[in-house]
């Protein structure tokens, strides 16, 4: 979900990529939810906290391209391993996002969040 300005970036080439820690915690790229229901729940939560007009943008990535990406599924890691990863690589934790990964899945209290590095943006087919 994005405001209309960021949504327009996704419908084009994705640039300029936000670099602020709260928008690029694991590095520049696309952060998304596993499914539309989780995106809607997050949208409702954000709308309670801010007056910004936000929209949900959907995209698809082929299984073939997804399988080629260097990835990490944090939903299969221990809490200690997840903490270590975020301490080393998350900007919000003072880390350096030099993990070299293109796709990361992680569980949150809302659902599973996905991160796609900006280098694989060409494989993400966005629609509004």
Residue 124 in 3-state DSSP?
A: coil
Share of residues in the chain with pLDDT > 90 (%)? 85
30 phi/psi in degrees, rounded to 5: -110, 130
Domain segments of the chain: what residues? 2-127
Do 119 and 102 touch, CB atoms closer than 8 A? yes
Do 33 and 118 touch, CB atoms closer than 8 A? no
- For 100, left (φ over 0), alpha (ψ -120 to 50), or beta? left
Q: What is the C-alpha to C-alpha distance for residues 82 and 36, in angstroms, rounded to an integer?
A: 25
pLDDT-based confidence at 128, cuts 50/70/90?
confident
Q: What is the C-alpha to C-alpha distance for residues 56 and 30, in angstroms, rounded to an integer?
A: 13
The 10s digit of each residue's pLDDT in 13-42 is 999 999 999 999 999 999 999 999 999 999
Whether the per-residue pLDDT at 1 is higher than 80: the answer is no
Rounded to two decimals, the pTM is 0.93
What is the pLDDT, as a whole number, of residue 82?
Answer: 97
């Amino acid at each position: 979900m994005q405001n209309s300005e960021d949504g327009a970036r996704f419908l084009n080439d994705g640039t300029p990529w936000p670099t602020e820690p709260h928008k690029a915690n694991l590095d520049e790229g696309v952060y998304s939810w596993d499914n539309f229901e989780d995106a809607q729940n997050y949208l409702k939560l954000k709308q309670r906290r801010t007056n910004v007009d936000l929209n949900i943008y959907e995209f698809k990535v082929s299984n073939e391209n997804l399988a080629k990406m260097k990835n990490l599924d944090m939903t299969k890691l221990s809490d200690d391993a997840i903490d270590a990863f975020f301490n080393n690589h998350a900007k919000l934790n003072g880390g350096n996002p030099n993990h070299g990964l293109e796709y990361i899945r992680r569980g949150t209290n809302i659902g599973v969040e996905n991160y796609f590095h900006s280098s694989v943006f060409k494989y993400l087919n966005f629609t509004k």
